[in-house]
Structure 1
Amino acid sequence: MAGVVQERIIPPANTLVKYDNPVLVTTHLGKKTREGSPSKIGTTACKVQSAPPTTDIRRETDEILNGILPPKEWEEDGQIWTQHVSSIPATRLDVINLQEQLDMRLQQRQARETGICPVRRELYTQCFDEVIRQVTINCAERGLLLLRVRDEIRMTMAAYQTLYQSSIAFGMRKALQAEQGKEDLMSAAEELRLQKAELEKNVAELRQRSEQAEIRATELREAEEKKHSEEIQFLKKTNQQLKTQLEGIIATKK
């Protein structure tokens, strides 16, 4: 069974959480071995800082830390490295430095002071993880309680993100439906405009036919009246002639 054979001194990673130096992990029969693995997270009594921690308490604290903040593992040049969170207790100066580092990185990465900002959320998440690490070293119960708070916050944020994405999808569907409905209404309006134009054309044709029919009816009526007047005049003239003839015949007989 192979063990840890080499340590690597590197600058601190781009995170506010304090880690130990990376350790080279060797492999044997396809299985990796590393110094300490996160097992079940148990409960330990709060340690008093005045008394040095025992080996069992320190090992249990390391297991809890590895459970709360799992070690990092990566492969580089065919070698597998692992990096655990630091189990060194934090001092007052460490807390002050953490606050200064947080403020400095917020300014460097130009995080927004208000509103939704992924950068600000990431940095505050790292800061909270570092606070959990510091508290867990002094009292595991407090660390586990803060872990519950952290997980609850993450779950709430995930729920809000899901709700936001669902609302965005719902809004997009409604927008597409509204756009489709708008297109349908525009098509219906265009069809109605065409029908209106066709009906107006029919009305114009019917009005023209009606006017032509009225003109023809007027001409026929005038022609009939003229013919009737001529017939009356002819009959009156014929009647007058017959009357004259009749008077002549009567006068001759006398």
Structure 2
Amino acid sequence: MIPPAESLLKYENPVLISKSTDRKSPKGRPLRVSPQQPANSTPVPPPPKLKSATTDATKQENEEILNAILPPREWMEGNQLWVQQVSSAPCTRTDVIHLEEQLDIKLQQRQARETGICPVRRELYSQCFDELIRQVTINCAERGLLLLRVRDEIQMTIAAYQTLYESSVAFGMRKALQAEQGKADMEKRISDQEDEKQDLMKQLNEQKAKCDAIEKRENERRQVEEKKHTEEIQFLKRTNQQLKTQLEGIITPKK
């Protein structure tokens, strides 16, 4: 692991837990005890024991809630395990103004988009919201837990929209691929139909040519037959006329 990047969420100084070979327990009690030693080193007038015990218990409970809401981050440097908890120091109005300035600076430095979908802007605003949750939780753990519910609901809604978007994109891609495949099939079918049409047109032209040839041949044959028939009729008429003349010559008495 590499050291975590700078975040808008305020953290305490990192604490060396152990070497990787000696790591036996996850974020346990040392995570909450070690960072608090420098804060308790300043001389403070001892309050009454009962009030101090109650204050320490409340403070420890708030720190546990804070660590549950915003878990510490850890990383490895060589064989050493470092853990960094969120800061439990109360915030002031100046801290909020500084947080807003840092948010604007980081949005500009990382060139986040002002509108539309932007992972950078979403990440920075998420860090800013976590810092606000930290600041509220220190003063009132119940408000911090309620803000945690709001944050989780927002993240769940965004995840649902992201899943819906990815599903719609995948659906659109499938439909586009199906359309492309259907287009290719339709183009192939159109090409086959065009080829079939050309073949049928060729056959039609051949049949028309055959029909024209047959009609021409039949017309010629009919003309020949009509001419032959006319010649036979003329021949028979002449023959009939000759026979009639001969018959009249025989029948007519000679004077």
Range class of TM-score, shorter chain = 0.7 to 0.9
Q: What residue identity is the alignment partner of 1:25?
A: I
What is aligned with 1:221? 222
Q: Which has the higher contact order (CA 8 A, sep 6+)?
A: 2
Alignment of 1:69-88 (within 5 A): 69-88=70-89
Distance 1:184 1:207 in 2: 34
1:14 aligns with 2:6: yes
Structure 1 gap segments, 5+ residues each = 1-10, 38-50
Deviates more, 1:20-29 or 1:154-163: 20-29
Task: Report the alpha carbon displacement of residue 34 of structure 1 after superposing the two structures with TM.
Answer: 5.7
Distance 2:208 2:149 in 1: 86
Q: What residue identity is the alignment partner of 2:189?
A: A
What is aligned with 1:116? 117
Deviations 1:6-54 (A, max 9, x none): xxxxx995110000111101257651466236xxxxxxxxxxxxx9982
Structure with a larger share of its residues in helix: 2
Distance 1:34 1:72 in 2: 15
Tell me if the contact between 2:10 and 2:86 (Cα under 8 Å) persists in the aligned partners.
yes
Number of residue pairs matched?
Answer: 231
What is aligned with 1:45? none
**Structure 2 residue matching 1:97: 3-state secondary structure:** helix
Tell me if the contact between 2:137 and 2:144 (Cα under 8 Å) persists in the aligned partners.
yes
Q: Summarize the Cα distance change of 1:66–1:86 in structure 2 as closer, same or farther, 3 Å threshold.
A: same
Distance 1:140 1:29 in 2: 34
Q: What residue identity is the alignment partner of 1:35?
A: P
1:127 aligns with 2:128: yes
Q: What residue identity is the alignment partner of 1:62?
A: E
1:24 aligns with 2:16: yes
Distance 1:26 1:245 in 2: 155
Tell me if the contact between 1:106 and 1:123 (Cα under 8 Å) persists in the aligned partners.
yes
* TM-score (ref. length: structure 1): 0.84
Distance 1:185 1:13 in 2: 55
Distance 2:24 2:115 in 1: 48
Alignment of 1:30-49 (within 5 A): 30-32=23-25, 35-36=30-31
What is aligned with 1:8? none
1:54 aligns with 2:49: no
1:212 aligns with 2:213: yes
What is aligned with 2:38? none
Q: Summarize the Cα distance change of 1:34–1:75 in structure 2 as closer, same or farther, 3 Å threshold.
A: farther
Tell me if the contact between 1:73 and 1:83 (Cα under 8 Å) persists in the aligned partners.
yes
Distance 1:116 1:250 in 2: 130
Deviates more, 1:205-214 or 1:181-190: 181-190
Structure 2 gap segments, 5+ residues each = 33-50
Poorly superposed stretches of 4+, deviation over 4 Å: 27-30, 251-254
Task: Report the alpha carbon displacement of residue 248 of structure 1 after superposing the two structures with TM.
Answer: 3.3
Distance 1:243 1:26 in 2: 151
What is aligned with 1:6? none
Distance 2:96 2:70 in 1: 19
Distance 2:209 2:143 in 1: 97
Task: Report the alpha carbon displacement of residue 246 of structure 1 after superposing the two structures with TM.
Answer: 2.6
Q: Please report the RMSD computed on the Cα atoms of aligned residues, expressed in angstroms.
A: 2.2
Distance 2:22 2:113 in 1: 50
